[in-house]
Structures are given as C-alpha cells and as structure tokens.
Structure 1
Amino acid sequence: MKSAKTLAFVLAFATMPAAFAAGSMGGMDMKPSAASQPAPQPVVAEIRKIDVQAGKVTLKHGPIANLGMGPMTMAFPVKDRASLKNFKEGDGVSATFDNVDGKPTVVEMRHK
C-alpha cells in the first residue's frame, strides 16, 4: 500500500512540468501587449525652468497616462535640445512624454 502511494506521488510530480508546458504553449504570453499601454498624448504643462546646457526642462504638468505619472513638477530631459531656445520660463505648453532609454523624456513640446 505504501508503494502505491509513493508511485502516485512520483507520477503526479512527473506529469506537472508537462501540464505547465502545455499551458504556456497555449499562447499565454505574460508580457503586457503594446495595446495595453496608452499611447503618448499631449499633456498641458507650464515651464518652470529651462536648462539648455543640460538639455532639461522643469515642467509643472498634469497626469501623464502613458508613463503612469500623476500631476507634479519635475525636470525632464528633452529629446530635441535645440527646441528649448523657442521657449521661456512661464510659457504654457503642450508636451508629449515617452520613455527614451528608460527615462521619462519630453519628445515633443509646443506652445499652447
């Protein structure tokens, strides 16, 4: 009787990897799909500080849905440093943010 229980136990564990493999081969991709991430949308913001040399702008901004960020004031790198010459502190802008090299970055900024 003891050997029957042992055999059942061994068989149960022997078939577990096959059951898990069959489940994972059924298209269960655990990575979030691109459709689940909101697309970058322009966010209303106010320029608080510009650092042309560092290529950064400090913005008081609303929620940034595609980055999961709430409203706050924060310095961001700017993808196009040269564009900073077109803005001044206090300007109201519409900024689009995205992750660039793993960092939240202003990828586009326009006057409101």
Structure 2
Amino acid sequence: MKHIKTLTLTFAFALTLAAAPTAFAATSREGMDMKSMGNMEMKSSAASQHAPRPVAAEIKKIDAQTGKVTLKHGPIENLGMSAMTMAFPVKDRASLKDFKEGDSVLATFDKVDGKPTVVDLRRP
C-alpha cells in the first residue's frame, strides 16, 4: 500500500511540475502591450536557446591572407548548424599563426556582422 501511495504522490508532483511552465506563460503576458513588442529584436529559437560553446573541430585549411580557416566541425547549436566541413572567417586573424592544418581544436562560433564566425580558437 505504501508503494502505491508513493507512486501516486510522485505522479501528482510530476504533473504539477509539467503544468507550471504553461501556467506561468499564460499569466506572464497579462497586461503586456503587444504594440511595443514590434521594436524588440527577435532571434530564431535555435539561436536564442543556446549560448556559444566550444565545438570540437579539425583544421583542414588555413588561409592567413583572407583570415579564414576551413574546419571539419561538429554541430554548432547556437547557430543551428549541423556537423560539416566549411570555411569560416576568424575574428582574431593573428591567432591563425598558432595553428597548422590537421590540428584538433575547440572552436567557438557566433555571428559577426551577420556571418558565422570563429570568435575563439584553442587547443583542447
């Protein structure tokens, strides 16, 4: 009997937690002037849910003249990009001298001037 009572209480608690965000969302918009929302910058849901985090990558090519690096990288969550090999501009072009093709790195990506850019590049 104790086991059934514990399961019932656990289930009730889980339902309460599941319903809480919905109740909060419904009440948090009350009294908001939706016209003023037009001036707010809206971001894609993928970009707004994830802060930039280092992504494991391998340097395939370095072009110091253009300040670009070609990386074979894992998924970039904050930009909504899947794993692929692609050339990216590097925010700190001078840092490219510290790396060579074939190096394993941790790359942090973000948008700079609207373009996916390597904002940090370091060794794991």
Q: Give the residue type in structure 1 aligned to 2:99.
A: F
Gaps of 5+ in 1: 1-22
Task: Please show how residues 1-112 of structure 1 align to structure 2 within 5 Å.
Answer: 25-26=33-34, 29=37, 31-32=42-43, 36-112=48-124
TM-score after normalising by structure 1 = 0.72
% identity of equivalent residues = 70
Q: Which has the higher helix share?
A: 2
TM-score after normalising by structure 2 = 0.65
CA RMSD of aligned residues (A): 2.6
CA deviations over 1:19-46 (Å, ceiling 9, x no partner): xxxx972588373499933110000000
Q: Which has the higher strand share?
A: 1
Question: Which structure: larger Rg?
Answer: 1
The alignment covers a number of residue pairs equal to 90
| Structure 1 runs (4+) greater than 4 angstroms displaced | 32-35
